[in-house]
């Protein structure tokens, strides 16, 4: 694992960025294709290359393992090409897995498939009463759950997730169709910390005015990412507290992370971007 380095935050306070081993769930995209359109990134008229998608996904999988992380796998169900985006399959804290209930009919069978996997692994599964797309719209930042709405997850799922896990939930409204899930517009940089030390990177323009105000209040030292980097799903990234895996095309975000003392690692998931997903979309965190 890469060694942490000394960094200076935007408030000029030195901090040591320390990596911590994570536990992820991924799905090998053996049946990846784009045959329908449920987000602005998808275009069924464009050809897809399943072998290339698998190769790019494997690079991400191997990278996580090289960084010392544990990666579990769920088998992709034929006919469910978007199962590769495991982040949408649920939200896990402790031994509890809150299941997903997808908005679009094309993805709805994924919910039961992921919940079956959680049960088989010994998790206590909570079947959702409200539409939600898992960690796509629920991000644990410190002790708080940031929860997205506007395109996919219903706002009443925010009350549900808060009651299940007994945590504060902050509703954030997305307004740009390109950033239809919260994890496309916010990157959690500091896992395993409390609210006082939590930090994020985000794209302000992806949110309505009230959400922008709330994010600025809670995270005054947050990294503000450009639309250019957001538009290649640069914020759809994974951090272990020091190493931050991002889109290799998000060059500005890469420089911002390095200046803040993180170790950005770029990967090319351009084929999976054709389905509207990036690094984080392919990665569900299992917090046990």
Summarize pLDDT for 113-170 with one digit per residue, the tens.
999 999 999 999 999 999 999 999 999 999 999 999 999 999 999 999 999 999 999 9
14 pLDDT higher than 70? no
Q: DSSP 3-state assignment of 225?
A: coil
Look up the CATH number of the domain holding residue 273. 3.75.10.10
Report if residue 1 sits inside a domain. Answer: no
For residue 254, the enclosing domain spans 18-285
Low-confidence winner among 10-14, 15-19, 176-180, 273-277 (lowest mean pLDDT): 10-14
pLDDT value, residue 16: 85
Which residue, chain included where needed, has tokens 């985000």?
202
Report if residue 13 sits inside a domain. Answer: no
Q: How many domains, the chain?
A: 1
Report if residue 213 sits inside a domain. Answer: yes
Tell me the C-alpha distance between 281 and 288, whole Å. 20
pLDDT value, residue 95: 95
Cα separation values, 99 from 66, 104, 188, Å: 29, 15, 21
pLDDT 10s digits, 16-54: 899 999 999 999 999 999 999 999 999 999 999 999 999
Tell me the C-alpha distance between 237 and 17, whole Å. 17
Q: How far is CA 155 from the centre of its chain?
A: 18
Report if residue 36 sits inside a domain. Answer: yes
222 pLDDT higher than 80? yes
Tell me the C-alpha distance between 279 and 248, whole Å. 10
Q: What region, left, alpha or beta, does residue 202 occupy, with left being phi > 0 and alpha being psi -120 to 50 degrees?
A: beta
Walk across the sheet containing 186-188 and list its strands.
Answer: 186-188, 200-202, 223-224
Q: What amino acid positions are annotated as catalytic residues?
A: 181, 281
Report if residue 6 sits inside a domain. Answer: no
pLDDT value, residue 288: 83
Report if residue 11 sits inside a domain. Answer: no
Dihedral pair phi/psi, residue 45, rounded to 5°: -75, -15
Report if residue 233 sits inside a domain. Answer: yes
Dihedral pair phi/psi, residue 266, rounded to 5°: -90, 135
Tell me the C-alpha distance between 209 and 225, whole Å. 17
- The whole-number average pLDDT for the span 223-237 is 97
pLDDT value, residue 115: 98
Report if residue 137 sits inside a domain. Answer: yes
pLDDT value, residue 132: 98
């Amino acid at each position: 694992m890469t060694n942490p380095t000394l960094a200076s935050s935007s408030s000029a306070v030195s901090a040591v960025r320390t990596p911590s081993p994570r536990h992820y769930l991924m799905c090998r995209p053996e049946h990846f294709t784009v045959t329908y359109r449920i987000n602005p990134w998808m275009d069924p008229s464009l050809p897809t290359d399943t072998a290339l998608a698998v190769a790019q996904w494997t690079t991400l999988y191997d990278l996580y393992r090289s960084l010392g992380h544990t990666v579990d796998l769920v088998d992709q169900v034929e006919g469910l090409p978007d199962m590769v985006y495991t982040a949408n399959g649920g939200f896990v804290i402790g031994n509890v897995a809150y299941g997903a209930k997808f908005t679009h009919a094309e993805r709805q069978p994924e919910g039961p498939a992921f919940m079956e996997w959680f049960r088989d692994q010994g998790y206590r599964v909570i079947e959702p009463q409200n539409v939600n797309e898992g960690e796509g719209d629920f991000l644990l930042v410190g002790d708080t759950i940031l929860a997205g709405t506007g395109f996919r997850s219903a706002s009443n799922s925010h009350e549900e997730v808060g009651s299940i896990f007994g945590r504060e939930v902050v509703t954030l409204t997305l307004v740009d169709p390109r950033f239809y899930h919260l994890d496309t517009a916010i990157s959690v940089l500091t896992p395993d910390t409390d609210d006082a030390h939590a930090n994020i990177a985000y794209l302000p323009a992806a949110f309505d005015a009230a959400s922008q105000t709330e994010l600025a209040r809670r995270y005054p030292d947050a990294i503000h990412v450009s639309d250019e980097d957001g538009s290649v799903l640069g914020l759809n990234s994974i951090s272990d507290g020091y190493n931050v895996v991002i889109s290799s095309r998000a060059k500005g975000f890469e420089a911002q992370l390095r200046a803040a003392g993180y170790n950005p690692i770029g990967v090319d998931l351009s084929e999976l971007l054709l389905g509207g997903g990036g690094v984080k979309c392919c990665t569900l965190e299992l917090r046990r």
